[in-house]
């Protein structure tokens, strides 16, 4: 089995109208931009989508639109949680038609052990009809999925195809690449670390900035994967200030500020999240205007 989920993926935002309802028209524009920007796959209902604030009906309608407008790009759906049985029930009821994979975040709040997470993911893999991307983001979940556990999972189940690594621990990410099978994919969960992670064997990114700059981001990743590091590094340096600014007041506030400046969406987030300050908005705008 060749490596799945390589290249440039995007963690799609959920645009909202001024009345806080989902703006499906703007979401369609963003998805179309991804297709035209030569992105490799789409990720629905991740962190950037403000998924905890979406109703079951909204989630269903969002996934439906993304599948319809994907123009053949693979679609990955986020379906994490901190109750293993509940996730398995969701999987049993879910329509997987047009879905290429699931993004499963480590259980949050419960703080399970490494053995606990191994069992959690193993049970989900048994239930899932599609491949799984493990999602490690300890700054949000309070627990780190260690390299040894990732390797153990990758060896145990062919369904566990990749890991989205957002720990920021490059030594851990390098270790995952060393000890997992050749067909296992290591994906950067941070735009700013995508190039360094590719340099130690990673195969791409699930990007936030691609919502607004799909063409630039996909070019950077594809150059790096082709071994053209000097060219990709030039692009990385050009975009690095913007990479950092988009997370200055949290995600997805930054990317929504940029999309708003581009005229694509309203600058709306659902509570408890809130839009970026005027100062940060202007910093994002200035960094964006400096891009070639």
Using alpha carbons, select from 71, 67, 69, 68 the residue that is nearest to residue 101.
Answer: 67
The string of DSSP codes covering 6-40 is -EEEEE----B-TTSSB-HHHHHHHHHHHHHTT-S
Please identify which residue in the block is written with the tokens 């100062």.
Answer: 279
Rounded Cα distance between 46 and 28, Å, is 17
Give catalytic residue positions: 135, 164
Rounded Cα distance between 186 and 199, Å, is 11
First and final CA of the chain: distance in angstroms?
Answer: 39
The percent helix, strand, coil of the chain (3-state, each to 5) is 50, 15, 40
> How do beta strands 7-11 and 132-136 pair?
unpaired
**H or E stretch including 68?**
helix 56-69
Backbone angles phi, psi at 238, to 5 degrees: -65, -35
Rounded Cα distance between 241 and 198, Å, is 20
For residue 273, count other CB atoms closer than 10 A to its CB: 16
Using alpha carbons, select from 4, 3, 2, 6 the residue that is nearest to residue 206.
Answer: 6
For residue 82, the 8-state DSSP code is: S
Query: Which two three-digit tokens encode residue 103?
Result: 């993004």
């Amino acid at each position: 089995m060749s490596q799945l989920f390589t290249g440039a993926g995007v963690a799609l935002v959920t645009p909202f109208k001024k009345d806080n309802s989902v703006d499906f028209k703007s979401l369609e524009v963003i998805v179309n931009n991804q297709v035209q920007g030569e992105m490799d796959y789409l990720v629905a209902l991740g962190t950037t989508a403000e998924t905890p604030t979406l109703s079951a009906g909204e989630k269903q309608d969002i996934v439906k639109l993304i599948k319809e407008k994907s123009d053949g790009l693979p679609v990955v759906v986020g379906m994490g949680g901190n109750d293993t049985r509940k996730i398995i029930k969701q999987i049993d009821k879910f329509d997987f038609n047009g879905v290429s994979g699931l993004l499963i975040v480590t259980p949050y709040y419960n703080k399970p052990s490494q053995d606990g997470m191994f069992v959690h993911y193993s049970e989900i893999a048994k239930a899932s009809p599609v491949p799984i991307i493990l999602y490690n983001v300890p700054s949000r979940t309070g627990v780190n999925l260690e390299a040894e556990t990732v390797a153990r999972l990758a060896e145990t189940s062919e369904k566990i195809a990749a890991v989205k690594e957002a720990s920021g621990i490059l030594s851990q990410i390098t270790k995952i690449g060393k000890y997992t099978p050749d067909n296992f994919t290591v994906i950067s969960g941070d735009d700013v670390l995508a190039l360094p992670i590719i340099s130690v064997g990673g195969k791409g990114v699930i990007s936030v900035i691609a919502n607004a700059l799909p063409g630039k981001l996909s070019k950077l990743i594809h150059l790096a994967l082709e071994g053209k590091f000097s060219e990709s590094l030039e692009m990385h340096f050009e975009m690095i200030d913007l990479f950092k600014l988009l997370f200055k007041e949290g995600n997805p506030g930054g990317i929504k500020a940029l999309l708003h400046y581009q005229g694509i969406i309203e600058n709306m987030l659902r509570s408890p999240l809130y839009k970026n300050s005027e100062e940060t908005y202007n910093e994002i705008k200035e960094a964006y205007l400096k891009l070639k």
